[in-house]
Amino acid sequence: MDPISSLSELLAEQKASSYIEIPGVVSRTFGQTTLSTTLPMSKLFSIYEVDLEVQRAIVPQNLSKLMDYIMLYLDHQQGIYFPGIILSARGAGEYDADQQVYRLQAIEKLYVVDGQHRLAAFRRIMETLQSNMARAKDRREYDRMEEITDKLSKLYTFPMSTMIYLDINARQERQLFSDINKLPRKIGGNLAVLREQRRFYHVLASHIAAQAPAMKQISVDMFTERGKGPEFLFSYHLLVEILCGLFEGRLKSAARNNGYYFEDSDIEEHLKLASYYFDVMLRYLPEPEKGELCWTENLQIAMALFFHDEVTKTGTFNKYALEYTMKILPHIDWNAIYVGDEKDRLPRRSRIMKAYQYIKDFYQEHHVFLIRDKEDVG
């Protein structure tokens, strides 16, 4: 038998059964030959490789966030959405135009151009589940084995949109990676919050903006990406922050209950309380206008934090305590909160906490004299 002198000859000796077939359509993308397809993760696991000369090192924080995101799908059947993976063939495989199938030998790999963290997150979860399966098997925890098997099945069959560049080299891969990750920017502000419609306060804010009667007077900018349009009083992001303050007494970054898992009844209950809160706010404050200090972002968050403290002293959110406490609003001199240029000079958090402390001190000193028990809130 003649000796094998090249990799191509070695591959030619492999049996047909060792081929990995990838169905897809070949086209030209920016002058390059590409194949577009959708692959289950089980197949992707077997064909990709990472070239560290092209890819950056894995960022643990990004990996952890992606794993948490995938677990929404595995644990709670929530839909998850990923941009496609981009791979480079570097000359590997052959495309059968008649069958519209791209064939790889089992020994051949495709190199990741974009999607390294996504693939790593899926692989890490797969390895964790396989380890948990072995442990459950040793302990004869059959119910647990069935649960893990179901998750593994969903993980393996998860469909991932994939584009394969068939004819670019390593230098072009590096340029493509650079362009993909350098040119786009992340969404921010309202748009980032509005598009996150899984978390509790985000969903609640959407319901309030659409259904609460007070929002016809308190205009909420739902779509501007950063900040808010000049014709709006509140941004959508501010509405979320107010809700976190009112129901938790925390700033949004520290909110504990802004999770993914809640009942519709929770939304309905909080919607009624928040709607009432804004109704009473309109009753006791001046007309909502940009020039009114009491309607500014910092003071609105400060008020929400203060009212939370007063209405949860019994351990639960007490609507009747809210009715009583909000009667202090007409008596507050809003212009006395900040001295000099503090309103513009202080950091945002400091401005919020200074206003919160002022309102709290004013209430403690004066509410007994200023609020009549029989005062009509209606």
Please give the average per-residue pLDDT across 159-169, as a whole number: 90
Task: Give yes or no for residue 305 having a pLDDT over 70.
Answer: yes
Q: What is the pLDDT of residues 316-359, one digit of tens each?
A: 999 999 999 999 999 999 999 999 888 889 999 999 999 999 99
CA–CA separation, 14 and 309 (whole Å): 73
Q: What is the pLDDT of residues 270-283, one digit of tens each?
A: 999 999 999 999 99
Most confident of 75-84, 221-230, 250-259: 250-259
- DSSP H or E segment with residue 23: strand 19-23
Q: Edge to edge, what strands does the sheet with 101-105 contain?
A: 19-23, 101-105, 94-96
- The residues, ordered by sequence, that sit 6+ positions from 247 with a Cβ below 8 Å of its Cβ are 201, 257, 270, 273, 274, 308, 317
Task: Give yes or no for residue 15 having a pLDDT over 50.
Answer: no
pLDDT bracket for residue 298 (50, 70, 90): very high
pLDDT bracket for residue 378 (50, 70, 90): very low
What local confidence, expressed as pLDDT, does residue 227 receive?
63
The pTM (predicted TM-score) of the whole model is 0.66
Better-scored residue on pLDDT, 36 or 6: 36
pLDDT bracket for residue 61 (50, 70, 90): confident
- The residues, ordered by sequence, that sit 6+ positions from 332 with a Cβ below 8 Å of its Cβ are 294, 359, 362
DSSP character at residue 100: T
What local confidence, expressed as pLDDT, does residue 87 receive?
93
